[in-house]
Structure 1
Amino acid sequence: MAEKKKATPKADKSAEKPPGGRLKLIILIVILLLLLAGGGGAAYYFLWYGKSADEAGESEASAETPAETVTQSEQSTAVPPEFAPLVYHKLDGLTVNLSPGAPVRFLRVTLTITTPNQAVITAVDKHMPMLRNDILSLLAAQEYAALNTPEGKDTLRESLRQTLVRLLVRASEPSDIRDVLFNELIMQ
């Protein structure tokens, strides 16, 4: 009898362990991984594709409001500024005397301005005498050593752009000039 009593506790211990405990753990881990992957995919979708859908929804909602003064034809031709095609406008050549004492005495520059707005081109043509005056003053103040480096040329381009923008703003004209490009830069 003593032997029978010892055998029964072993049977009770095996009955206490749930069968397939490891299988349940594996299933739980797989479900957790699927939930994490789904959450990551949803976050990716809403972060990258949700913005364009929201912006499209907002533009449609704003287009339907009667308080808008923009006509339907203007809406179809309106292009966001960052995607609008650039218009290139070539300016006449400019020749200036450089500062005295420099080995180079003359600077000849031909410029092109870039803008997405045709009204800027009209404003530049309208105010050309004022713009030429200030551009000539800016160019005459340059030094050969500074202009002979790529950084000096980039600095001059940015100075010219800022000068043009400042003058157009002062004249109450559109001033969205994106860049000033050199077509010709000759120092002699």
Structure 2
Amino acid sequence: MAESSNGSKKLIWIMVFLVLLSSAGAAAALYMVMGRDADTDTSEAQQVTERQAPIFLRIEPFTVNLADDTHGSRLLYVGVTLRVGEEQSKELLDEHMPQVRSRLLTLFSGKQATELTSPEGKQQLANEVIDRLSVPMTENQPPLDLREVLFTEFIVQ
């Protein structure tokens, strides 16, 4: 009988040791998981605070004859700057600047002065500029990331 109580004591000690070992393993795993979540939150906060500089492409100002309206011939003097989302779009537009200017000239010259004098008319024109420039200029051209059309000069006479 003495041997059985000695054997059960060893079994109890082994069980206690295994419980302590598994508790230590669970605590280590919990620490690692909590530590990674904190690191992820910190890196996401850093990414949010990083500010990306906007990418602008300035297009030389235009002077175009507008379509005739009730007041006869009128002129539009307009300066345009495009805000793009990536450097590749800026480079592509810059490489094809003669095509860009031609598309804009034909768009502007088809407008009447009364269409362009209201804020809504200018916004509509900006949307039409984006639509016109979004048409590919070459085969296999990646889509352009045009974000905004900014009118830096705008005079209707």
Contact 2:69–2:112 (CA<8 Å) still a contact in 1? no
SS at match of 1:178: strand
CA shift for structure 1 position 162:
1.4
Indicate the residue corresponding to 1:175 in structure 2.
Answer: 144
Identity among equivalent positions (%) equals: 28
Residue 98 of structure 1 is matched in structure 2 by 66
Helix, strand or coil at the partner of 1:172: coil
Q: Cα gap change, 1:144/1:86 in structure 2, threshold over 3 Å: closer, same or farther?
A: same
CA distance in 2, matches of 1:167, 1:106: 29
Partner in structure 1 of residue 93 of structure 2: 124
Match for residue 109 of structure 1?
78
What is the TM-score when the length of structure 2 is the normalising length?
0.62
Deviations 1:109-129 (A, max 9, x none): 100000121111111111011
Q: Please say if residues 68 and 112 of structure 2, whose CA atoms lie closer than 8 Å, have aligned partners that are also in contact.
A: no
Q: So what's the TM-score if we normalise by structure 1?
A: 0.52
Q: Which runs of 5+ in 2 are unaligned?
A: 1-36, 41-46
Misfit runs of 4+, over 6 Å: none
**Count, aligned residues:** 111
Give the equivalent residue in structure 2 for 1:28.
Answer: none
Cα distance 1:167–1:95, how it changes in 2: closer, same or farther (>3 A)? farther
Cα RMSD of the aligned pairs, angstroms, is 2.5
How many angstroms apart in 2 are the aligned matches of 1:109 and 1:167? 24
CA distances 1:63-120 after superposition (whole Å, capped 9, x unpaired): xxxxxxxxxxxxxxxx89xx74321121111111011245351101100000121111
2:103 corresponds to: 134
Richer in strand (by share): 2
5+ unaligned residues in a row in structure 1: which ranges? 1-52, 57-78
| Residues 134/150 of structure 1: CA separation in 2 closer, same or farther (3 Å cut) | same
Structure with the greater alpha carbon radius of gyration? 1
Tell me how far apart the structure 1 counterparts of residues 136 and 66 of structure 2 sit (CA, whole Å): 23
Q: Secondary structure at the match of 1:135?
A: helix
Q: What residue is the counterpart of 1:86 in the other structure?
A: 54
